[in-house]
Structure 1
Amino acid sequence: MEPPHAARRPRRPPQCCSRSSLTTAPPLGKTGMKQGSFVVLALYEVHMASAALMIDGIVVAATHEERFTRHKNEMGFPVHAARYCLQAAGVSPSEVDVVAILNHHFDQNGVANLLFKRMSRYSREDWLEENEKFWKPTLMEGRNVGRSYFHLMGGWSRVASDHHYDLSALNVDAAPDALAAVFNAMRRDAVRRLLDIPPERVRFLPHYMCHHHHAYYSGPLRGSGVAVIHAEGDGGEYNQAVSLPTPQGLRIVAGTRLFNLGRLYQWMTLMLGMSPYGHEYKVMGLAPYANDKEQARSLKVFERYFKTDTARMVIEFDQRPADMFYTFRDQLQTHRFDGIAGALQQVTEDRLVEWLAAVVAQTGCRKLAYGGGVAMNVKANLRLAALPEVERLFVPLSPADESNVFGAAYWLTEEHFLATGRAPDTIPALPHAYWGPDYTIAEARAALAAMDLSGFEVSENPEIDHIAALLAEGCVVGRCLGREEFGQRALGNRSILAHPGLPGTVDKINHQIKHRDFWMPFAPTILAECAGDYLDNPNGLDAPFMTIGFATTASGAQALSQALHPADRSARPQILEQQANPAYHALLTAFRARTGIGALLNTSFNLHGEPIVSSPADALRVFRLTELDAVWIEGHLVRRKRGA
């Protein structure tokens, strides 16, 4: 079987991935594009490197490099993801009008981050070592140990071999401007060498603004009554900002680069013994368990450092700490872990609530589109959505950095529409999340043929009602069907599914399948027609992507008990409309017919610490290594033989 980190070539996209099947316009020409179509290929190289392809404002394909290399949160030039997007769209390199690359330049630490694949490959020990060798002497002690951690953390001996850049001309110790220019030339060269697209078609874009374009254009909110906001760890010129739609496109009206709650969350994750840039969600999950007394004690430490400037619509320091790790570690040494997590979550929520109230008051806009890495905090989003000042809150698909490939493509399409006399607000909202690779039934058969099937039974062409019956009986089923969803959260096509109300399901999945932390909650997929029964959602907010938390009703708390946060009974739902994923919707409908529950427990189909499965071989490998009851791949259901 395929090992977890084996690289593989992109699969040939199936017929359903052709451009003509994903747009409403009739196909013209050999690639199915209308004459004069504007084609953007967007690339992101840092945390969870990704690619997306957009034609005239319509997303055609998008995926992540990790799904091919099998390294979680993969970094580097996303060559496999980019090639997939071109193949899936049927677009030749010559037909790409512009290649948008996120981050218009990198400094020495930025280059080191990429070449080390730091956010993907560092251990917790590495993060602590880097802090001790570079950040502590630089920020806390005022000692000069160099401009970067590059040499201190191993230099060239640590550079990954699979970043895809030609580094022959790189001098990492060059002056900052020279280093940025040379490395950008290498990025352009990677586009030429690996994708066969002329380097003059490359445009480097500021990071922060792409969050705004994704949050606005991928969602349903349009017009003068909408404010767009973002908050993140490091976005370049701004890491928190407010923009408004204008006749000339989105325009920033307020912002700061001193919003540091995102950075605080990262480094407190490390202080609590978990990995930054990967385990922040675990801290968020831990927070509701906090003892009130311990939380209040830790909150006193955090609160004095951050304030909301309501007039300027920003969150900045009230008292500036020397750094974001040692300053707080030293003050929290005798504090309990749960109190720290709870206080960190509370200060984040409290300041964000003040900020959104200020944005509404200052702009007069009660409809908000919200992006950036901090928008991944669904617990905070629950409070933001419930604010009386807020009429509508939209949080887009996977709003962290990986989705900036959508934002970059939307930004350049907005620019193109304005230049050609078209209204950018006619760009349609993102209809669903399923933009990644599919596979053929022949590939499913090949994966089965390569597997030792002793101890398993295989059924061909299983009926949906049969799968629903297994779930109703308490079986846990891995579903690997159709095009992959984009983002960090599984949304049905690469998911582990189970009965949401059957006692013992959480323990079974945690201990026998996922091997995850005991305090982490699961999430439900809920039929849109049932959402009102289970969720407290008086404003009828859209939540198709698991990006907003909700309180549950009494019936929801009972029916979805295994798919809620155990401490506060809140839900992080995927509210599923039939048109978004008809086959998945049909399964939930069949399960509802059997049980009366219009929802399923849904968690990502992967082993803890690995990317979500992509191919049928990936799915079968996870099946063999765990105690999943069954796996459903194209045309086949594989189950363990009873007693095996």
Structure 2
Amino acid sequence: MQKILGISCFYHDSAAALLVGGKLVAAAQEERFSRLKHDPAFPAQAIQSCLDQAGLTLADIDAVVFYDKPLLKFERLLETFLAHAPFGLPAFCRAMPVWLKEKLLLKTVLRQELMALSGLAKTALPKLLFSQHHQAHAASAFYPSPFSRAAVLCLDGVGEWVSASIWLGENEQLTPLSEQHFPHSPGLLYSAFTSYCGFKVNSGEYKLMGLAPYGEPVYVDLIYQHLLTLHEDGSFVLNPDYFDFAVGKRMTSSKFHRLFGGQPRRADEPISQKQMDLARSIQQVIEDIVLKMAWHAKQLTGCQAVCLAGGVALNCVANGRLMREGPFKQVWIQPAAGDAGGAVGAAYLAWHQYAGQPRQLAAGAPDQMQGSYLGPEYSDAAIEQQLQAQQLSYVRLTDQELHPQVADLLANGKVVGWFQGRMEFGPRALGNRSILGDPRSPQMQSVLNLKIKNRESFRPFAPAVLQEMASRYFQLIGTSPYMLLCCQLRPELLLPLAEAAPVSSGFARLAEQRSTLPAITHVDLSARVQTVDASTNPRFHALLQAFYQQAGVAVLINTSFNVRGEPPVCSPKDAIEGFLATDMDVLVLGNYLLLKKNQPQAAIDRARAREFADD
């Protein structure tokens, strides 16, 4: 068994990952091709992309591994509905048609989809295997990591039954040590507050985390008194009276609403200090859970290193506290920590557990994720074909010309769409499908939020920094290649206002300039850092070097190249449409450079009309 395809789908953020000879050669999310954010559909296009990148067909694959065991999940749903009878009947009636038609017969559905994708007969399909959900998360965290032995923490909403787990990883072995079961879930707890504060579950958690520094932890005691009992080992028990996610249509109950003084905020209502304080409070509680669980994992394993996966592992503020205050000397986080990463873990499980292959650490590499640059890339010919088809104005530059010119445009306040090489796997833009800006500009945060990204003005932007110069700007322990750690700026970058008590509150604090890099400094003087290594992404590293030579700062704003609720761009066509439809000034596709001011107005009008029609 040499070629293994892992897949995750039908619940949230479908994806595919391909392992060849134990090496991860490709991974991609279905949303990037379908253009439907968090697309849960069967990942046919993602699978085809992975196969194309490796020069394979499905007939060449030895096994397809699904990241979940549907019968166990069905068992959990039935037991939950019965435990809440008769109140669980409406939820039972909503869920059963889908389960009986698709999910309960998942093996048949998967085979049908694979046959439709490949044209193969049923008897010619690869072997079909299944892993457990948290087992796939643990595998995605440990096997690609740089450690031969490590504790593994998995925290999410819920898999089949498990919502949080601790594992011991030793070479190719993964041993479960501790589990927390539904409905007592750290992910669902955080999502309940996400929903109550008026954001969408499974996508608004980032917003809640970004909102937290504007508030005060005034509700922490209330949460501990009424909502959950937290134990020293990080396990906890939720009070079911306050939640409705088990069998209801809502995340929170009327008792929850009375406790916090009102109905959930509607999405179209202004954000108040109450939501800011709630965000800050639940953020502190989640950090408490993560730290207690980490200390317990240290006691169970004695390991010096820890690996993280699951949706809660995308909470970079909690990760930063774990790095600073936790018991481990080294922390490694799966860059696609959510459900998409389950495809990676499922493939690795088949390689090590089913095929019995030994684990080999990546020699000379920080890990086996290849910087998470695992998606498709596009040739110069493919890029130029798109540019000519739309009759756009462009120039093609050499590397020696490109990086200084783009650095100069950035230093003069231009917003640049930067499209290079292989697409990132996971939720973070890491310099290949990015929008870039000058972090020194006090106006850049609002320009990007309101004119380019069309998102809430309070949301901060992350910095990308030359890895070898990161310590000049940030109080970062180690490196942060996947933009999954928050840390404080260096004191010497802060302005006098930042060191004094805030002179304003709420969103009025957005107007306060706190550092010499205001566009990437959050109101709590933190930043979600990406360190850029020359060996992992030489082109992005070269651009940062050119900007440093031009502006004297080795930092750029780096945010994902997407607009209006869409997933990040995948193809040159996606990038061109995003560039033309927004107020972006510059687009760089490989070595092709486009200036907005030189583009035909008809092309801009068409792109903006499409965006308006899709909104």
Tell me which interval the TM-score lies in, with the shorter structure as reference length.
0.7 to 0.9
Matched, 1:40 2:4: yes
Q: Which whole-Å CA distance do the structure 1 matches of 2:223 and 2:32 have between them?
A: 40
Matched, 1:571 2:497: no
Matched, 1:585 2:541: yes
Counterparts in 2 of 1:139 and 1:470: CA distance versus 1, 3 Å: farther
The residue type equivalent to 1:500 in the other structure is P
The residue type equivalent to 1:625 in the other structure is A
- 1:261-289 Cα offsets, whole Å, 9 max, x none, are 21022122122111111111001100110
Q: Which whole-Å CA distance do the structure 1 matches of 2:286 and 2:68 have between them?
A: 26
TM-score, normalising length from structure 2? 0.83
Q: Which moved more, 1:264-273 or 1:573-582?
A: 264-273
* Corresponding residue SS for 2:526: coil
1:592-607 maps to which residues of 2 (within 5 A)? 592-607=548-563
Matched, 1:301 2:223: yes
Q: Which whole-Å CA distance do the structure 2 matches of 1:641 and 1:279 have between them?
A: 35
- 1:461-505 Cα offsets, whole Å, 9 max, x none, are 252111111111111100112111111111111100011112211
Matched, 1:626 2:570: no
Checking the alignment, whether the CA contact within 8 Å between 2:81 and 2:89 is kept in structure 1 is no
Match of 1:52 in 2: 17
Q: Which whole-Å CA distance do the structure 1 matches of 2:100 and 2:330 have between them?
A: 49
Match of 1:99 in 2: 64
Counterparts in 2 of 1:232 and 1:447: CA distance versus 1, 3 Å: same
Match of 1:131 in 2: none
Q: Which whole-Å CA distance do the structure 2 matches of 1:222 and 1:266 have between them?
A: 34
Q: Which moved more, 1:567-576 or 1:358-367?
A: 358-367
Matched, 1:232 2:156: yes
1:306-321 maps to which residues of 2 (within 5 A)? 306-310=228-232, 313-317=233-237, 319-321=239-241
Q: Which whole-Å CA distance do the structure 1 matches of 2:590 and 2:533 have between them?
A: 22
Match of 1:445 in 2: 384
Counterparts in 2 of 1:391 and 1:446: CA distance versus 1, 3 Å: same
Deviation for aligned residue 1:303: 5.0
Matched, 1:333 2:298: no
Matched, 1:279 2:204: yes
The residue type equivalent to 1:448 in the other structure is L
Q: Which whole-Å CA distance do the structure 2 matches of 1:195 and 1:616 have between them?
A: 26
Match of 2:27 in 1: 62
Q: Which whole-Å CA distance do the structure 1 matches of 2:329 and 2:65 have between them?
A: 34
Matched, 1:435 2:374: yes
Q: Which whole-Å CA distance do the structure 1 matches of 2:380 and 2:307 have between them?
A: 40
Match of 2:130 in 1: 204
Match of 1:528 in 2: 467
Deviation for aligned residue 1:444: 1.7
Match of 2:595 in 1: 639
- 1:331-359 Cα offsets, whole Å, 9 max, x none, are 21349211111111111112222221222
Deviation for aligned residue 1:260: 1.6
* Corresponding residue SS for 2:27: strand
Match of 2:169 in 1: 245
Checking the alignment, whether the CA contact within 8 Å between 1:299 and 1:347 is kept in structure 2 is no
Q: Which whole-Å CA distance do the structure 2 matches of 1:206 and 1:460 have between them?
A: 49
Deviation for aligned residue 1:369: 0.8
Matched, 1:404 2:349: no
Q: Which whole-Å CA distance do the structure 1 matches of 2:334 and 2:100 have between them?
A: 39
Counting matched residue pairs gives: 549
Deviation for aligned residue 1:368: 0.9
Checking the alignment, whether the CA contact within 8 Å between 2:295 and 2:326 is kept in structure 1 is no
- 1:433-464 Cα offsets, whole Å, 9 max, x none, are 111111122222222223364xxx42222521
Task: Name which of 134, 139, 148 aligns with 1:222.
Answer: 148
Checking the alignment, whether the CA contact within 8 Å between 1:192 and 1:199 is kept in structure 2 is yes
Deviation for aligned residue 1:573: 1.1
Checking the alignment, whether the CA contact within 8 Å between 1:109 and 1:150 is kept in structure 2 is no
Instruction: Among all aligned residue pairs of Structure 1 and Structure 2, give the percentage whose two residues are the same amino acid.
Output: 29
Task: Name which of 411, 420, 438 aligns with 1:481.
Answer: 420
Deviation for aligned residue 1:545: 0.5
Q: Which whole-Å CA distance do the structure 2 matches of 1:372 and 1:228 have between them?
A: 11
* Corresponding residue SS for 1:73: coil
Deviation for aligned residue 1:199: 4.1
TM-score, normalising length from structure 1? 0.80
Matched, 1:562 2:490: no
* Corresponding residue SS for 1:393: strand
Q: Which whole-Å CA distance do the structure 1 matches of 2:421 and 2:137 have between them?
A: 28
Deviation for aligned residue 1:299: 4.3
Task: Name which of 181, 189, 193 aligns with 1:257.
Answer: 181
* Corresponding residue SS for 2:94: coil
Q: Which whole-Å CA distance do the structure 2 matches of 1:202 and 1:320 have between them?
A: 38
- 1:210-234 Cα offsets, whole Å, 9 max, x none, are 11111112222222xx211111101
The residue type equivalent to 1:550 in the other structure is C
Deviation for aligned residue 1:253: 1.0
Counterparts in 2 of 1:257 and 1:171: CA distance versus 1, 3 Å: closer
Q: Which whole-Å CA distance do the structure 1 matches of 2:91 and 2:583 have between them?
A: 50
The residue type equivalent to 2:520 in the other structure is A
Counterparts in 2 of 1:195 and 1:536: CA distance versus 1, 3 Å: same
1:598-617 maps to which residues of 2 (within 5 A)? 598-617=554-573
Matched, 1:459 2:382: no
The residue type equivalent to 1:315 in the other structure is S
Q: Which whole-Å CA distance do the structure 2 matches of 1:140 and 1:296 have between them?
A: 36
Checking the alignment, whether the CA contact within 8 Å between 1:108 and 1:147 is kept in structure 2 is no
Match of 2:109 in 1: 186
Q: Which whole-Å CA distance do the structure 2 matches of 1:438 and 1:568 have between them?
A: 38
Checking the alignment, whether the CA contact within 8 Å between 2:572 and 2:589 is kept in structure 1 is yes
* Corresponding residue SS for 1:221: coil
Checking the alignment, whether the CA contact within 8 Å between 1:308 and 1:354 is kept in structure 2 is no
Checking the alignment, whether the CA contact within 8 Å between 2:377 and 2:421 is kept in structure 1 is yes
The residue type equivalent to 1:189 in the other structure is Q
Match of 1:3 in 2: none
Q: Which whole-Å CA distance do the structure 2 matches of 1:281 and 1:533 have between them?
A: 27
Counterparts in 2 of 1:571 and 1:248: CA distance versus 1, 3 Å: closer
Checking the alignment, whether the CA contact within 8 Å between 1:227 and 1:243 is kept in structure 2 is yes
Task: Name which of 265, 275, 291 aligns with 1:353.
Answer: 291
Checking the alignment, whether the CA contact within 8 Å between 2:234 and 2:292 is kept in structure 1 is no
Deviation for aligned residue 1:181: 5.0
For structure 1, the 5+ residue unaligned runs are 1-36, 113-134, 157-169, 173-178
* Corresponding residue SS for 1:550: strand
For structure 2, the 5+ residue unaligned runs are 245-251, 263-272, 495-514, 602-615
The residue type equivalent to 2:8 in the other structure is Y
Match of 1:13 in 2: none
Counterparts in 2 of 1:148 and 1:394: CA distance versus 1, 3 Å: farther
* Corresponding residue SS for 2:370: coil
Matched, 1:392 2:357: no
Deviation for aligned residue 1:143: 5.8
What root-mean-square deviation, in Å, do the aligned CA atoms of Structure 1 and Structure 2 show? 2.8
Checking the alignment, whether the CA contact within 8 Å between 2:73 and 2:159 is kept in structure 1 is no
Checking the alignment, whether the CA contact within 8 Å between 2:64 and 2:126 is kept in structure 1 is no
Q: Which whole-Å CA distance do the structure 1 matches of 2:370 and 2:94 have between them?
A: 43
Counterparts in 2 of 1:182 and 1:512: CA distance versus 1, 3 Å: closer
Q: Which whole-Å CA distance do the structure 2 matches of 1:103 and 1:506 have between them?
A: 40
* Corresponding residue SS for 2:151: strand
